Amino acid sequence: MNYRHEFHAGNFADVLKHALLVRVLLYLRRKDKPFRYIDTHAGAGLFDLDGPEAQRSGEARGGILRLRDANISPEAAELLAPYLEAAGAGPLYPGSPKIAQAFLRPQDRGLCCELLPEAANHLRGALARDKRIKVIARDGFEGLNAFVPPPERRGLVLIDPPFERRDDYERVHDSLESALRKWPGGMFMVWQPVKEPEVADAFCAAVGGLAEALRIDLQVATSGKGLTRTGVIVVNPPYVLEQEAATLLPELTRVLAQDERAAFWLERLGAAKVSSQ
């Protein structure tokens, strides 16, 4: 596998994914009952934006670094503030498990799968051996099937593979279908790179056939080097997420745009499109 997140950490795709991740975790915190966060492709935990990989790609400059300095509407700024606080102001950008850690309460638990042993060890260090979070060096798709439903019966699963294998879409769909059979009320977030819109559309339609879901896409350009469009699918979404995304997306599109064709999509899967621009 050639994917190395050191080159992509803090880019516009991370901004969208992590901003929405925080909104879902904050929703789960509304009740005192414990919840569980499960990450199927957890990564190394912390990434140096001043490191040679990040500097070579420059992707963070069009993502978190630009967002930190942007003038944002008060409504969107309020929704983004918890994410920006968790992301920090320094050169070390947190991966999804590290961001989730900031929102776990004493009664909550996390479980992170990372296939590469070296990355799993880095993640344990990044999490400071937090006793609330267990890191397992194993295939995330296998882990998902093994670890749902969680004992808490409440929680969120983030499915975030690199989509470098040709069968990743099939593996995500099949794993999600199996997990929903075991835990039909669970919340799941799936990140995808939108490299071929027709492939992404077909995948979203297939996910919409499994359960109620919300598709949230952000496009920063219509052409250019590397990824220019990304998406997050939230299965069994919190009822507040659609309105929160409708507030965030216009501002993120404006701030992170790389050309005049930047756009966003907000759609209930299996239903009429909610909004687009």
According to DSSP, residue 147 is labeled H
Helix (H) or strand (E) segment spanning residue 204: helix 197-208
For this structure, is 160 an active site residue? yes
End-to-end CA distance of the chain: 35
Give just the sign of the alpha carbon dihedral 163, 129, 12, 77.
positive
Q: Which of 32, 160, 174, 217 is catalytic?
A: 160
Binding-site annotation: residue ranges: 18, 41, 96, 114, 139-140, 160
| CB neighbour list of residue 271: distance below 8 Å, 6 or more residues apart | none
Q: Are 64 and 108 in contact (CB under 8 A)?
A: no
Taking the C-alpha atoms of residue 163 and residue 141, their distance in angstroms, rounded to an integer, is: 13
SS (H, E, C) 210-233: CCCEEEEEEECCCCCCCCCEEEEE
Q: Are 94 and 87 in contact (CB under 8 A)?
A: yes
| CB neighbour list of residue 223: distance below 8 Å, 6 or more residues apart | 259
Binding-site annotation: residue ranges for S-adenosyl-L-methionine: 18, 41, 96, 114, 139-140, 160
Taking the C-alpha atoms of residue 184 and residue 174, their distance in angstroms, rounded to an integer, is: 14
3-state class (DSSP) for residue 185: coil
Residues designated as active site: 160
